[in-house]
Structure 1
């Protein structure tokens, strides 16, 4: 069994689980950041469990499907992004209105500073949503699929609809894909002249960004999304995109590690301990990138990793409460 405190009153005690476990995790499509996090958790957890422990990582999309897989008991632990979107599953808001999961709990947050941004080719001379509504251009807009699962497609639909933008009604076209890479390629290769997407740290954004006007999302739209779904907003820093001053848009940050309340307390503590105390393992995979351009925003802070939009599992909470005050 894991102990909540180091006997010397320093770092939280390292967990030791004598029994062998069979666990199912759920990451991303297979080659992106959520799968990396699952591999890190699996490696460090297996080192501290019984000798016949087996841990599998299932492919996933990393969005609403991951939340539902945990809520339905299909897997023990899953990662989903952005973290704030999972809170609606607790009380059945938005896409979770048909099936909510009040027993959803968090094991921790892996910080990832990201934003959902709306951008239009400079050839249209549009710099705001007000101008977009006035001119109603026939845009070919690249984004993710809006199927109630993909959080990018869901957020893009909500932002555009609440902003009074009708791409199809104005004679335009939606180019919808699952991952950001295809959407960025549509713009880079001239198939699209507008985009709504995230993963703003990817180098392709710098390549296409000099040709785009990034639109600030209007305050009433952001406030309505916060009120209805608990989605926060955030600022894109001055100069993050080429020659673009700071602007406000929808926050798309953080990977949330979720489970259910019935996960054993010692296991929940152990996974939280792995996240906080072996963070150098995952940080080392991103240190060739500057923190502001990294898919995981290092250095990781265990105190911040314990601040979750979903209630912490009691076992995980024991780890974060045992951290020395900073």
Structure 2
């Protein structure tokens, strides 16, 4: 982690809009030790430095797969949450996909998007000699696939099962081969199943982490290209769930990846609020997101940008490009700052 410059911190604290009144907010991050909590902590300090002296922010964790964060903002139980992948959150507005049981949530708004270059990838133990999905369907091995829980709360699990189904491999098909899914909510828990010998395939995101590098570089797992027809089927069956036509993962991302890898996008963090959040509060939060971004970038600069779970440097113009409508306070900030 980069060492902060105290002079820069003091100078930064003197800038920006101010709220004279004290504000109490609830944010929802992640399970407690990942990027969403870090981002929430950054925003908490920057916001409270510029709000009334008795302002407080509570940062709540999630216990399931992440959908609860979106629901809590929609229901007014929290005022801000972070969710990924950003494109999937657009389906909350219309009540599609994983959000279908809850109905449309048209009041959700964004303060911005934080870039994160991620993919959902299937990797398989080399003992099976499987190099493609066609190989997988032909050989029908009894794979134990480690992935996230598909319980209606987990965005990763929902996407992972749908991704496999679009390749013609449902849970029932996998079980007919003698295989099964082994699941947990968090990515590192799924990866631990492989490292413990309890699984021999991995279907996950967070590809920039050392955990994934260990599976590919040391365990020598084979990664499978997504089939174009399956990606097209996914886009048709689960519209707006994943960004379309993402750049392939470049050759050399891992030493064993000798050609670009085409697979499903799982990118970007969206900062969610509701449309009735006071305009000046949304404006100040957005100002903090953009104008103090060096404070959060510095927490990732010990990593190369392509290996960072938050892709830096943050571009204000890109932060303003959200798959769901911007809050009016956020829109005002971006327009006044010339980013929109």
Q: Which band: TM-score by shorter chain?
A: over 0.9
1:262 and 2:276 aligned: yes
1:182-193 to 2 correspondences below 5 Å: 182-193=189-200
Deviation at 1:55, TM superposition (A): 0.7
1:1-326 to 2 correspondences below 5 Å: 14-60=16-62, 61=64, 63-98=66-101, 99-165=103-169, 166-210=173-217, 211-227=220-236, 228-230=238-240, 231-233=242-244, 234=246, 235-244=248-257, 245-324=259-338
Q: In structure 1, what is the Cα distance between the partners aligned to 2:281 and 2:139?
A: 56
Deviation at 1:131, TM superposition (A): 1.2
Instruction: Say which SS state the counterpart of residue 153 (structure 2) adopts.
Output: coil
Instruction: Say which SS state the counterpart of residue 116 (structure 1) adopts.
Output: strand
Deviation at 1:325, TM superposition (A): 6.0
Instruction: Say which SS state the counterpart of residue 42 (structure 1) adopts.
Output: helix
Q: In structure 2, what is the Cα distance between the partners aligned to 1:37 and 1:74?
A: 19
The count of corresponding residues between Structure 1 and Structure 2 is 314
Is the Cα contact below 8 Å between 1:27 and 1:62 reproduced in 2? Answer: no
Instruction: Say which SS state the counterpart of residue 23 (structure 1) adopts.
Output: strand
Using structure 1 for the length normalisation, give the TM-score. Answer: 0.93
Q: In structure 1, what is the Cα distance between the partners aligned to 2:89 and 2:213?
A: 30
Q: For residues 81-118 of structure 1, what are the alpha-carbon distances to aligned partners after superposition, in whole Å with 9 as ceiling and x for unaligned?
A: 11111010111111222322011100111111111111
Q: 1:105 to 1:62 in 2, by over 3 A?
A: farther
Instruction: Say which SS state the counterpart of residue 57 (structure 1) adopts.
Output: strand
Deviation at 1:14, TM superposition (A): 2.1
Deviation at 1:182, TM superposition (A): 1.8
Q: For residues 211-260 of structure 1, what are the alpha-carbon distances to aligned partners after superposition, in whole Å with 9 as ceiling and x for unaligned?
A: 11111111222223333331124221111123212111111111110011
Q: In structure 2, what is the Cα distance between the partners aligned to 1:16 and 1:220?
A: 52
Q: For residues 174-232 of structure 1, what are the alpha-carbon distances to aligned partners after superposition, in whole Å with 9 as ceiling and x for unaligned?
A: 11011111221222232211110011011122221041111111122222333333112
Q: For residues 18-47 of structure 1, what are the alpha-carbon distances to aligned partners after superposition, in whole Å with 9 as ceiling and x for unaligned?
A: 110010100001111000000011100001
Deviation at 1:62, TM superposition (A): 6.5
Is the Cα contact below 8 Å between 1:28 and 1:62 reproduced in 2? Answer: no
Is the Cα contact below 8 Å between 1:107 and 1:258 reproduced in 2? Answer: yes
Is the Cα contact below 8 Å between 2:316 and 2:339 reproduced in 1? Answer: no
Is the Cα contact below 8 Å between 1:184 and 1:204 reproduced in 2? Answer: yes
Using structure 2 for the length normalisation, give the TM-score. Answer: 0.89
Structure 1, unpaired ranges of 5+: 1-12
Is the Cα contact below 8 Å between 1:34 and 1:62 reproduced in 2? Answer: no
* Segments ≥4 residues shifted beyond 6 Å: none
Is the Cα contact below 8 Å between 2:144 and 2:201 reproduced in 1? Answer: yes
Q: For residues 285-309 of structure 1, what are the alpha-carbon distances to aligned partners after superposition, in whole Å with 9 as ceiling and x for unaligned?
A: 1111111111111111111111111
Deviation at 1:167, TM superposition (A): 2.0
Q: In structure 2, what is the Cα distance between the partners aligned to 1:257 and 1:47?
A: 20
Q: In structure 2, what is the Cα distance between the partners aligned to 1:132 and 1:147?
A: 25
Q: In structure 2, what is the Cα distance between the partners aligned to 1:87 and 1:63?
A: 15
Q: For residues 97-144 of structure 1, what are the alpha-carbon distances to aligned partners after superposition, in whole Å with 9 as ceiling and x for unaligned?
A: 232201110011111111111111111111111111111110011001
